[in-house]
Structure 1
Amino acid sequence: MTETALPLCSRLTLPTNLPALQQALTRLDTHAWQAHFNRGYHEGDWSGVALVAAEDAPLPLAPGTGSPSSLAWWQGEPAWQQALAPFQASLRAARLLRLGAGARIHEHRDPDLGRPGGCLRLHIPLLSPPGVEFLVDGLQVPMRPGECWFIDLSRPHRVNNPGPGERIHLVLDCAADPWLLALIDEGLAQTPALQPGRAGQAFERFRQQVSEAPALAAQLQALEDPRAFVAEAVRLGAELGLAFSEAEVLGAMRRGKQAWSDQWRV
């Protein structure tokens, strides 16, 4: 596999000592958590604690181009040292990221991740309520605590934590070294098939109903403005008891369903 042909995600064959990491979390000073700098991207608590950051990063959680520097606070914690050890040669940044109960990260892209010369993003869930949705291109990445996942976050992605409880991941940015690319390729064999998120499943049911209902198709066909089309699809779905968002409609169109929306406007 090459850096220019990255998969959407891959579950890596790397063991983690989850109990030790969760115990280390309990020893973390509650005042250490800092609000994420991308304030326009989220609702609710999205915060983090840096372990490794670029020397020229304007904020501990922000990216930089300088050499990676390990912060002193975690050096006495064997659990963090053990978790980061396999990545030391490639590690550019490491941080704990927390999404509180009821919080959500809006859909966005991280264009510097996954592109040639950019970093590769790895997630190791430490705490994760079962209702968390981590959607990439509208598909749920089924990460479980203790697993290590590569995710191509240059693609559209969003996260929702309905709770109860907070979601905390250890998040690593690594150089696209050959050993890591090989590990990602190897992990594809054990990566489960991805399914649409809950709202995505509702949208698929709506799409099927529209294909079988000329009156619904006519309502959409009359709309030439794409924004009006998306808004009307969401409204009609709600009338049918199918809750999905505008992001779901837009994501479906991006994933090759543009033909479906266009056929009602021809």
Structure 2
Amino acid sequence: METYKFTSVFDVQKLRHDLGICQGNSWRSHFNASDYSGTWSSFSLRSISGLENDILATANAPYKDTPTLEKCTYFKEIVDSFKCEKEAIRLLSLAPNSYIKEHTDPDGGYQDGFFRIHIPIMTNPKVEFKLNGKLLPMQAGECWYANFSLPHFVSNFGEEERVHLVIDCIRNEWSDALFGDIGYDFDKEKAVVKDPKITRLIIQELTNQNSEAAQKLIAELMLELT
């Protein structure tokens, strides 16, 4: 599954109210300066340090909520509705006449024990978001999953900024049930791994993840080896 639009639709006015709280603070330019042109900035609601200007999204690190998340009651309600461990939670803004170059995010798909949720808050008809060559017509208030380990880019040639709430989640039994309901092919996921050498490398990588989902996947892969 490359992408999926969930049936949940969030209240745009409430989203923009909480965005307004965050816009009263300083936002940081994205650290991958070579990956974009124009202005791409971020504000953290959950970060490694617990600070709003800490916008690094590093896997397998301890995260904590920033003080601003507690003030944004609707954002917090949405975040809490995902019954799994969360890593980075950020607001990502792409200014008018700005472009994020095509790139991939390593281990950025559900098969990697991870899933990233995008909830558009502000957008316009001249925003183009493509993943693996497919246009994702994300509208304000919608909730999307995409496998960001695939090539993707974003452009904003409209007259207003494009802002998304982005929630990085760790896979668990709750999310497996959620993805199972929307048609995720678990059998296909298991069939991808056939070479024992690749299996051992995946197990080695998963041992670095201190999560319930990682331990479950390790157990399943160990059974394949035996």
Is the pair's TM-score, using the shorter chain for normalization, greater than 0.5?
yes
Tell me how far apart the structure 2 counterparts of residues 31 and 80 of structure 1 sit (CA, whole Å).
Answer: 16
- Segments of 5+ residues of structure 1 without an aligned counterpart are 1-6, 190-266
Moved over 4 A (4+): 115-118
| Cα displacement (A) at 1:76 | 2.1
1:164 is matched with which residue: 155, 159, 163? 159
* 1:135-190 deviation line (CA, Å, top 9, x unaligned): 0011101111101000000000000111110000000110122322433343469x
**Contact kept in structure 1, 2:110 and 2:147, CA below 8 Å:** no
Aligned to 1:51: 45
Aligned to 1:10: 4
Paired residues for 1:72-83 under 5 Å:
72-83=67-78
Tell me how far apart the structure 2 counterparts of residues 148 and 91 of structure 1 sit (CA, whole Å).
Answer: 16
SS of 2:22's equivalent in the other structure is coil
Aligned to 2:169: 174
**Contact kept in structure 1, 2:40 and 2:94, CA below 8 Å:** yes
**Contact kept in structure 1, 2:110 and 2:171, CA below 8 Å:** no
Aligned to 1:62: 56
SS of 1:32's equivalent in the other structure is coil
1:53/1:149 Cα in 2 relative to 1: closer, same or farther (>3 Å)? Answer: same
Are 2:14 and 1:20 aligned?
yes
Tell me how far apart the structure 2 counterparts of residues 24 and 53 of structure 1 sit (CA, whole Å).
Answer: 18
Q: TM-score, length-normalised on structure 2?
A: 0.73
As a proportion of its length, which structure holds more helix? Answer: 1
**Contact kept in structure 2, 1:103 and 1:160, CA below 8 Å:** yes
Tell me how far apart the structure 2 counterparts of residues 85 and 18 of structure 1 sit (CA, whole Å).
Answer: 18
Paired residues for 1:230-245 under 5 Å:
none
**Contact kept in structure 1, 2:83 and 2:174, CA below 8 Å:** no
Tell me how far apart the structure 1 counterparts of residues 34 and 117 of structure 2 sit (CA, whole Å).
Answer: 23
Tell me how far apart the structure 2 counterparts of residues 115 and 122 of structure 1 sit (CA, whole Å).
Answer: 11
| Cα displacement (A) at 1:81 | 1.4
**Contact kept in structure 1, 2:48 and 2:63, CA below 8 Å:** yes
Indicate the percent of aligned positions where both proteins have the same amino acid. Answer: 31
As a proportion of its length, which structure holds more strand? Answer: 2
Aligned AA (1:22): R
Paired residues for 1:169-208 under 5 Å:
169-187=164-182
2:36 is matched with which residue: 30, 38, 42? 42
- Segments of 5+ residues of structure 2 without an aligned counterpart are 185-226
Bigger mean CA offset, 90-99 vs 10-19: 10-19
| Cα displacement (A) at 1:41 | 0.5
Q: TM-score, length-normalised on structure 1?
A: 0.63
**Contact kept in structure 2, 1:123 and 1:149, CA below 8 Å:** yes
Tell me how far apart the structure 2 counterparts of residues 31 and 82 of structure 1 sit (CA, whole Å).
Answer: 21
Paired residues for 1:126-141 under 5 Å:
126-141=121-136
Tell me how far apart the structure 1 counterparts of residues 100 and 68 of structure 2 sit (CA, whole Å).
Answer: 27
The structure with the larger Rg is 1
| Cα displacement (A) at 1:28 | 2.3
**Contact kept in structure 2, 1:91 and 1:173, CA below 8 Å:** yes
1:112 is matched with which residue: 107, 123, 134? 107
Tell me how far apart the structure 2 counterparts of residues 35 and 167 of structure 1 sit (CA, whole Å).
Answer: 14
**RMSD of Structure 2 on Structure 1 (CA):** 2.2
Bigger mean CA offset, 109-118 vs 139-148: 109-118
1:151/1:184 Cα in 2 relative to 1: closer, same or farther (>3 Å)? Answer: same
Tell me how far apart the structure 2 counterparts of residues 111 and 17 of structure 1 sit (CA, whole Å).
Answer: 32
